Amino acid sequence: VHTAALTVAKSQGADLSALSPRSEWMIDPSLTYLNHGAFGAASRRVRAVQDDWRVRIEANPAAFTMYEQFDLLAEAAVPLAAFVGTAPNRLALVENATAGMAAVLSGIGLNAGDRIVTTSHVYGAIRNMLTHLGRERRVIVDEIALPAAPDGPKAILAPLGEALDQPTSLLVIDHIASPSALVMPLAEIIELAHARGVAVLVDGSHAPGMLDLDIDALGAEWYVGNCHKWLCAPKGAAFIAISPTAKRFSPLVVSHAYGAGFPAEFRKVGTRDPSAMLSIPEALALHADLGGANLRQRNRMLAAKAAEMIAEAIGGTILGPAAMRGAMASISLPGIPAERSATEALAARLRTEHRIEVLCLVFGGTAWVRLSAHAYNGENDYAALAAALKQLLPGEAHRT
Ligand SMILES: Cc1ncc(COP(=O)(O)O)c(C=O)c1O
């Protein structure tokens, strides 16, 4: 399965059954897993390579940690930089996107009174980080309210452009927003910010492996991405990419490599397990064997088809136009109150009564189910979700 490149038929009749047998993944076989976007999922193949790294590390922990890891981490970054469209000497490996965002925000020299603009689609942990930064450094954080369910890129670009007309030091923008699953019109947003002299930090947590990515062409000053999500690297593998002219900085955890500069300083930040980072090349190889660009397109098509199927089954609406969606989609949940306790209770019933793992959340005053589509998912998974939701949602509206 992995060796044959997938030819994606663009017609309605494309084969959207699972592309990769579930037995090749570590997910509980009794689960229908529709929440890849949250924390990725491990394939047995990449996990085996990570296990080999751990055996090698522990065979001589001193030599590996003091000497060998430094060059090996630099080597692991080379294919990743090529894959995401940047240069290895401008890409630092970090443990996760949150750590990457923290390193950028603390490293780029924000001062009291500087204004940071972000949006209402920002990820909760990053909102907290910005709030903390505001309190500690007395920077001004302006969260711009964007429509929860925009009908096109203009609905995003117009309010952002207006917000950035006021003096601003930094725009923090998601490439793919977590709560809405929307793919932001990133190239236009960066253009709009740069036209006003505003530097841009992109939270691209979901993009590597979901979208075709060319970070240098996008041109943001700083771009943070995760490898454990859509590239299926082990957990503990993420990166910061910086543009050729952007400010370089040290890691938050300054350690033995201090003075080596960006990105080398990031290769020694205390004693840690680098096996996930070292397994990135294997995750990239798996991604390529599953079809690369074809896999990404197939996953987007599957998510789009699944969203239509579920929206029709339950009488919900899909968040955002298809052109602004990737391999995730959110569908409104008729009859479910926009309260966290209600969406969590629904997710718990899906998990325990139907063995379906999927994210149910409140965003913009509406309850949504956010589905994901990766290689191990097929159309039948979403038919199972549609049937389960029809049973669990209150009211008659969806019982046609
Ligand atoms: C948009 C966004 N930013 C940041 C994160 C945090 O990623 P991590 O948990 O790997 O630090 C996520 C994770 O879901 C996300 O969706």
**Mean per-residue pLDDT, 169-189:** 98
226 CB within 6 A, ligand 1: yes
For the chain, give the longest Cα–Cα distance: 66
Determine the pLDDT at residue 10. 46
- Collapsing DSSP states into helix, strand and coil, what is residue 350? helix
- Name the pLDDT band for 12 (thresholds 50, 70, 90): low
Enter the pTM of the model: 0.95
Determine the pLDDT at residue 220. 98
Find the 191 Cα to ligand 1 centroid distance in Å.
24
Determine the pLDDT at residue 15. 86
End-to-end CA distance of the chain: 38
Find the 97 Cα to ligand 1 centroid distance in Å.
6
CB neighbours of 386 closer than 8 A, spacing ≥ 6? 309, 310, 313, 314
- Name the pLDDT band for 1 (thresholds 50, 70, 90): very low
Nearest atom in ligand 1 to 101's CA: 4
Rg (CA), the chain: 21
pLDDT-above-70 percentage for the chain = 96
178 CB within 6 A, ligand 1: yes
230 CB within 6 A, ligand 1: no
**Mean per-residue pLDDT, 222-240:** 98
169 CB within 6 A, ligand 1: no
95 CB within 6 A, ligand 1: no
What pLDDT digit, counting tens, does each position of 324-349 carry? 999 999 999 999 999 999 999 999 99
**Mean per-residue pLDDT, 194-198:** 98
Task: Ligand 1 pocket test: pick from 127, 130, 203, 205 the residue with the most ligand atoms within 8 Å of its Cβ.
Answer: 205
Answer whether residue 232 shows pLDDT above 60.
yes
206 CB within 6 A, ligand 1: yes
Alpha helices per DSSP H over the chain: 36-39, 44-59, 61-63, 69-84, 97-107, 124-137, 154-164, 186-195, 215-218, 275-278, 280-289, 293-314, 340-354, 379-392
Stated length of the chain: 400
CA 317/CA 330 separation, integer angstroms: 8
Burial class (CB in 10 A: 0-12, 13-18, 19+), 368: buried
CB 200 within 8 A of CB 190: yes
Nearest atom in ligand 1 to 37's CA: 14
- Collapsing DSSP states into helix, strand and coil, what is residue 388? helix
Three-point CA angle 202, 222, 146, nearest 5°: 20
Answer whether residue 4 shows pLDDT above 60.
no
Nearest atom in ligand 1 to 174's CA: 1
Structure tokens at 165: 């007309």
CA 311/CA 342 separation, integer angstroms: 19
What pLDDT digit, counting tens, does each position of 113-155 carry? 999 999 999 999 999 999 999 999 999 999 999 999 999 999 9
Q: Please, what is the average pLDDT of the chain?
A: 95
- Alpha carbon distances (Å) from 153 to 150, 188, 294, 321: 7, 9, 25, 9
CB neighbours of 52 closer than 8 A, spacing ≥ 6? none
Answer whether residue 101 shows pLDDT above 70.
yes
Structure tokens at 285: 């190889």
CB 7 within 8 A of CB 278: no
For residue 319, what is the DSSP state? S
- Alpha-carbon torsion angle 13, 15, 17, 18, nearest 10: -150
Determine the pLDDT at residue 274. 98
Nearest atom in ligand 1 to 238's CA: 10
CA 398/CA 109 separation, integer angstroms: 53
Determine the pLDDT at residue 368. 98
Classify each residue of 261-300 as buried b or exposed e, where b means 16 or more C-beta atoms within 10 Å of its C-beta: ebbebbbbbeeeebbbbbbbbbbbebbebbbbeebbbbbb
Task: Ligand 1 pocket test: pick from 36, 178, 235 the residue with the most ligand atoms within 8 Å of its Cβ.
Answer: 178
Task: Ligand 1 pocket test: pick from 39, 98, 120, 228 the residue with the most ligand atoms within 8 Å of its Cβ.
Answer: 98
